[in-house]
């Protein structure tokens, strides 16, 4: 059963399933897919605000400037909304900088709030004045969101990152029924459409925890060296293959992982990889990280492999020399020399200028 609530009685976010093509026809609406931290926003009748991540973790302490904006806005009606916290640098979404905001020290949090402030994009209104709107169709929720935003002085986000107001700010996410507009957003893969498009039915209620929306993402094929692996939870198979690309100086850098395997494949793959354990792998370059404040105690240990295997994967995009989100395994490339698997495969992608420990 899908998870219906998080952080007490806040509704769990509605989710999306991946499709290769954008659905078209009567009743479809489209929004940009934002590249940030999904959050459920709640402001009570006294004006106190909270932010909860998609799995219910408190986010407010990391983004005091967003909390301050929500609590200072006009319109004292309590509400619950679905939103995304993003970092918009001039003309681009910067997830790398956004991740820096998750710092345990309060003094550092306050400093970063001033140096790299965040933007809150609100795209759905789930309730107001103690009442729930989740049973209402999206079209009606959208109308109520625009009214709530107007009462609080939120601007409608423009269709271009170049024209987004300076952070910190709270914006209402754009939406369109015109598939040509949505295609234009999607084509702007360096701007508002860089993380893809979300398609939604205008007559659909908000289905907490269910994959009732459609997301269409950019996909690029990439040949990567297998530099290591992580074990599955059961310990009897591969949990993830660790992907690497060579820089111009011949150093192998970790760029991401793929874990799109069935249970039988995971066990069989482990037997194939055992004889390759050891070697330099990512030594001297960027290596897979260990525990983080978001790993929640998960085992992130990894095993180095001799870098002799090459796999073809698909990715959505690469940023700062790393794959954003998990890659999808396509096939083994026995015909490919590992040393030819370089950053040159992705236009604009570069190896890190120096090894980054713990990334």
**What gap in Å lies between CA 342 and CA 337, rounded to an integer?**
11
Widest CA span in the chain: 65
Burial state string for 88-125 with b = 16 or more CB within 10 A and e = fewer than 16: beeeebbbebbeebbbeeeeebeebbeeebbbbbbbbb
- In 3D space, the residue among 298, 320, 312, 355 whose CA is nearest the CA of residue 226 turns out to be 312
Instruction: Report d(CA 311, CA 241) in Å as an integer.
Output: 10
Length of the chain: 359
Q: How many CB atoms lie within 10 A of CB 154?
A: 22
Active-site residue (options: 33, 111, 215, 233): 33
Q: Which residues of 127-147 are buried (b: 16+ CB within 10 A; e: fewer)?
A: bbeeeebbebebbebbebbee
**Residue 151's Cα: distance from chain center in Å?**
30
Token readout for 276 is 């390759």
Q: Do residues 35 and 93 lie in contact, with contact meaning Cβ atoms separated by under 8 Å?
A: yes
Q: For residue 240, what are the CA distances in angstroms to 46, 63, 251, 286, 324?
A: 47, 32, 22, 17, 15
What's 305's DSSP letter?
A: B
Residue 200 appears among annotated catalytic residues: no
The CA distance from 245 to 346, in Å, is: 11
User: How far apart, in whole angstroms, are the C-alpha atoms of residue 13 and residue 55?
Assistant: 9
Residue 271, helix vs strand vs coil: helix
Which residues have a catalytic role annotated?
33
């Amino acid at each position: 059963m899908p998870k219906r609530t998080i952080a007490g009685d806040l509704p769990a976010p509605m989710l999306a399933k991946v499709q290769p093509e954008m659905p078209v026809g009567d009743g479809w609406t489209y929004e940009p897919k934002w590249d940030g931290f999904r959050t459920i926003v709640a402001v009570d009748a006294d004006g106190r605000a909270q932010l909860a991540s998609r799995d219910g973790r408190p986010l407010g302490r990391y983004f005091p400037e967003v909390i301050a904006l929500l609590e200072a806005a006009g319109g004292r009606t309590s509400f619950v909304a679905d939103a995304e916290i993003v970092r918009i640098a001039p003309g681009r979404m910067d997830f790398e900088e956004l991740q820096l905001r998750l710092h345990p020290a309060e003094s550092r949090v306050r400093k970063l709030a001033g140096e790299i402030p965040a933007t809150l994009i609100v795209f759905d209104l789930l309730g107001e004045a103690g009442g729930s709107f989740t049973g209402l169709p999206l079209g009606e929720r959208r109308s109520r969101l625009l009214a709530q935003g107007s009462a609080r002085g939120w601007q409608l986000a423009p269709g271009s990152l170049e024209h987004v107001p300076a952070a910190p700010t709270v914006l209402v996410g754009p939406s369109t029924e015109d598939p040509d507009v949505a295609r234009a957003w999607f084509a702007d893969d360096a701007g508002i459409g860089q993380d893809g498009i979300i398609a939604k039915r205008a007559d659909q209620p908000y289905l907490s925890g269910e994959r009732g929306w459609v997301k269409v993402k950019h996909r690029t094929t990439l040949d990567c060296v297998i530099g290591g692996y992580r074990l599955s939870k059961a310990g009897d198979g591969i949990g993830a293959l660790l992907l690497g690309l060579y820089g111009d100086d011949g150093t192998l850098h970790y760029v991401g992982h793929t874990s799109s395997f069935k249970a039988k494949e995971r066990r069989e793959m482990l037997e194939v990889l055992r004889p390759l354990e050891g070697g330099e792998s990512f030594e001297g370059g960027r290596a897979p990280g260990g525990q983080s404040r978001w790993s929640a105690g998960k085992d992130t240990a990894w095993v180095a492999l001799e870098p002799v295997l090459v796999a073809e994967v698909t990715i959505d995009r690469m940023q700062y020399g790393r794959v954003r989100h998990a890659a999808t395994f396509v096939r083994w490339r026995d015909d490919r020399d590992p040393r030819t698997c370089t950053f040159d495969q992705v236009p604009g992608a570069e190896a890190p200028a120096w090894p980054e420990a713990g990334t």
